[in-house]
Structure 1
Amino acid sequence: MMKNRKYIVPLVALSFGLAACQADETETSTPTEESSIENESNTDKATSELVDDEKIPTEGEPTDPDYALLEQAKDEYYSGELDAAAGTLSRLLQNDLSDNELLKAEAEDLKEEIGQQQAENAKAAAEIQVASEFKEERQSTLLSEEYEATKEKSLSEATDEELESFLTEKEVQKNEPVVEVEAANEDALMTKEEAENHAFEQVLERAVIEGENYFYFVNYEQESWVQVEAREAVEQDGVTFSNLIGIYRYNVETDEIQKLDIITGEYNPIE
């Protein structure tokens, strides 16, 4: 078993306005040399400042991928998706932000705020998780959705015995042929386990989602799609919880890879 993998067995334009009041021709005067020099100096200075502004982008421009990640985290946070927002910030803070100190500070502050809320929420569910042998499984979005769809019961309400039985049922189904693929110039049937293994490796490599504290859930969904959920284990204030790094899906027939937009609930291509 590789990685810590679990089967679900989811410029601004500068303009100058020059106004002149025409007086009698006998009162018209010629600008002094000193005034001309001063005006020229001011113009040069303004032009220089303008050029500088063009060459030096402001910190945190929308075209900056780090800025985009921060905005994504904010959107997730304000949508109430705390674990997704924290996971996005975790990936952002893994980048070299030495030239973007303001953005880094904002990301760190937001992550700390979210972490405090997550810890409070985790404490509320601590009684169930402390005694459970399936702490990581109970944090999975994919597993929760499938369990509820199959058993018509919330995973949070399931006993360890019920969850273990469900996982055992999923394990038994692993050898079922689920998709026809081309192998060695011949048509071959890929089992559910083989489809999950292949999809898992493709998602890890192409989505770049490996981390020291990451764990994963892999689930063959339907019509050749395999879901991969990546989470980051966190321990804070005496409780454990996880950040959602992302939910992806890979099609073993078409080689498509997509990521779930946690806010809209839609999968979008990542390549």
Structure 2
Amino acid sequence: MKRILKTLLASALLSAGLAQAGPVLSTSYAGIAGTTLNFDNVVAGADGLINGLLTSGGVSFGERFAGQVLSMAKAPRPGEVAQDWFDDLSTGAPTAGLSLLAGASGHNLGVYDYGDSRGQALAGVGPSMADGADPFGFGALSARFAIGQSSLGFYLRDGDGGAATLNLYRTDGSLIQSLALGPVADGYYAFARDGGVADIAGFSLYNRDSYYGISIDELRFASGAAAAQSVPEPGTAALLALGLMGALRSRRKR
């Protein structure tokens, strides 16, 4: 019982820290009055793969920014002997200008149609797995906006309680803030600059969420003042939901 209480407390403290401290605040996705971009019209190649940079709705997407060092991270697949392999962007810093780079052929970006009302989602395609598992969702995903934004949000899919990192950058490559999103679960994630400063030029998203990795849809962004309302203890709700996920969630078949 004590262990459970400690876990809940740690999750609540993490959420409170994201909502109250630093230059970026957790906000309501619905409170962002801006452009919403989905990926239903993205045309991909075989198996949903995208080679090279993708431009959609005035936003450019790639694997990483020039200056970032792409490495590989491994994490044990819960309940199995196998490990999952992920793209990692924790070292290196983007150079001024925030120039996007594509990943290697077959290990860049991809879209997957979930067959529901949300349709296609976008993800990074990670390293080849030792056991031949699909690397869709295990790769890094970076985006460059045409102009600076003050807020952004997206719908995250396939979250299974692992870790994810969202880094927000200025045009000169400097880091605005690095946000730890875990334990991730399906749902909306949204953030706004404190004071409505419109200097978010781009972001990088990478994860260590086993089984299916993560993908995003309904990317929403705004350059005007957004409602930067703190969201009380979202991590606690996510943690409770994850406890039921294994029994209730219908898993996609790939």
Instruction: State if a TM-score over 0.5 links the two structures.
Output: no
Structure number, greater radius of gyration: 1
Give TM class, smaller chain: under 0.3
When normalised by structure 2's length, the TM-score is: 0.28
- Choose between structure 1 and 2 for higher RCO, CA contacts under 8 A separated by at least 6 residues: 2
When normalised by structure 1's length, the TM-score is: 0.26
Structure with greater strand percent? 2
